[in-house]
Chain A
Amino acid sequence: DSGVTQTPKHLITATGQRVTLRCSPRSGDLSVYWYQQSLDQGLQFLIQYYNGEERAKGNILERFSAQQFPDLHSELNLSSLELGDSALYFCASSVRTGEYNEQFFGPGTRLTVL
């Protein structure tokens, strides 16, 4: 158990819908990262927050948005869902941003868009 929690574990929804994925980082970690893992794209970085502020952005679609709250948990919102958004979404956390030597992943949320 990495200490990073993600809910829900599985999510099945229809095209055009909107979902919210939730992540709680390890105790003491200020930095949260979101990644998407799909068969065709592999593991891709989406976005990073550090202590409530966005610090890095990757290949995140405009239909996707995220935020980190004062209690440090984070949410990833996916809207106007398409079939191609079906993937495993990971949240990860680290103590700090910039240079760190550990980044721990949550168990992931498996999203299926039908």
Chain B
Amino acid sequence: AQKITQTQPGMFVQEKEAVTLDCTYDTSDQSYGLFWYKQPSSGEMIFLIYQGSYDEQNATEGRYSLNFQKARKSANLVISASQLGDSAMYFCAMRETFQETSGSRLTFGEGTQLTVNP
């Protein structure tokens, strides 16, 4: 079974600085996908960025980038130039695909609560 580990329950960063949120994963699949979501206090889940297991380059989306180290099984999220609005819970997730049915699901880590200080 797949497992996602986020070891930082809480992180603090100063406004305008960069921050790295850690994510490690465990899977025996060759093909998988890694996702990051943001959940503000309002509760919605906002898709941020995706990295495929065969992608050779690290994914980037605006101020978000994913530091993908396949051999270490890590997929850390880097947020550059933090803003007050970045304060939220961040979840790392892995896509698992079931060959028999072509079904799939996301398995989530426990999340990291990021606080951006002015």
Contacts and interface: CB of A to CB of B under 8 A. Distances in A.
Contacts of A105: 37, 44-47
Contacts of B80: none
B101 to A, nearest CB: 5
A15 interface: no
B110 interface: yes
Interface size class of B (residues with CB under 8 A): 20 to 34
The main secondary structure of chain A at its interface with chain B is: strand
B105 A48 contact: yes
Contacts of B18: none
Interface residues of A, number: 29
The main secondary structure of chain B at its interface with chain A is: strand
Given A45-B107, A90-B45, A103 B35 contact: yes
B47 A103 contact: yes
Contact of B43 (A54, A92, A107): A107
Contact of B33 (A33, A42, A101): A101
Interface in A79-114: 88, 90, 92, 97-105, 107-108, 110
B51 to A, nearest CB: 9
Interface stretch (B7-15, B68-76, B90-98): B90-98
A27 interface: no
Contacts of A108: 43-45
A66 to B, nearest CB: 13
B50 interface: yes
A11 interface: no
Given A105-B45, A105-B46, A105-B47, 11 more contacts: A2-B44, A2-B47, A50-B103, A55-B98, A55-B102, A56-B105, A58-B105, A99-B95, A100-B104, A103-B95, A103-B106
7 contacts: A48-B105, A54-B103, A55-B102, A55-B104, A88-B43, A99-B33, A100-B104
